[in-house]
Amino acid sequence: MRPRTVNIVVSVSGMTMPLASVTIQNFANWLEPETDLLCPACNAKPTWNGGYDCACGAHYGHWSNLKRVVKATGQEITKERFTDGKSPVMAYAYMMTLEEFAKYVDATCNEYGVSVKDETSARNLRKLLIAVRNLGKVVLVRFKDTYEERISVLTLSLSNRIILRELIPLNLQDIKETLRVDLKAVTPQEIEEAEAFVKMLPSAKEELLNVNDYRCIGIEEKKVAPKVIELEQILSRAKATA
């Protein structure tokens, strides 16, 4: 989505009251080098004509058959294959304090749901999440995917789903302007004011979480959400069969 100004408002007794005017944008994008696609046979830049034709007579049907090089240096960009993309991979867990982690830009590029089957995995995940929620710790998980190294934060969504939140690596971040707030020194008066302030907001109903735009065309009915598996259920079943 392009950067845009959003005026956050609330409707009270039929009147629209402004709350805040904010500019929203992706606060970090991926850094990418400027590159050229060259002919692997002669290093010339081919022309497009229903395919890629080179002066040396070579023809390529797809850009992936060409050689990609960095414009500034001429260095070829090649992909090292880390895994077959199918077999389980080793993901290494690390811990950082929340204070230390807050120094960095935690720009999310993807989120992944997490599920487990065995008691040991469930028990250890619970311990990690307790450390995240109650001990002010950040659990980082790093692994090699098919071609890319991925860095994720093990955390909880607002609905308490266990998720891996993949981050844009620090050395690949193109940072935009954004806001950060420190709520450690919130006073009792500020809490009271905030409580009174949010009472102005109407209660959100389920229909608020649906949209009505072109993306709904062709989707006749809502898919039934899969059953949520509680981590505690896995642990209690394991105790019952022990």
Q: Which amino acid type is present at position 222?
A: K
Q: What share of the chain is helix, strand, coil (3-state, %, to 5)?
A: 25, 30, 45
How many residues does this entry show for the chain? 242
Structure tokens at 220: 């006749």
Q: What is the mean pLDDT of residues 197-210?
A: 86
64 three-state secondary structure: helix
Return the DSSP state at 234: H
Structure tokens at 241: 């069969």
Q: What pLDDT is attached to residue 242?
A: 63
Contact assessment for residue 116 and residue 128, using Cβ atoms and an 8 Å cutoff: no
Distances (CA, A) of 117 to 45, 131, 192, 237, 240: 52, 21, 44, 11, 15
171 three-state secondary structure: helix
Domain ranges of the chain: 19-78, 81-175+220-242
Contact assessment for residue 64 and residue 52, using Cβ atoms and an 8 Å cutoff: no
pLDDT digits (tens, 9 = 90+) for 53-88: 999 999 999 999 999 999 999 999 998 999 988 889
**7-16, 121-130, 146-155, 226-235: the lowest-pLDDT one:** 226-235
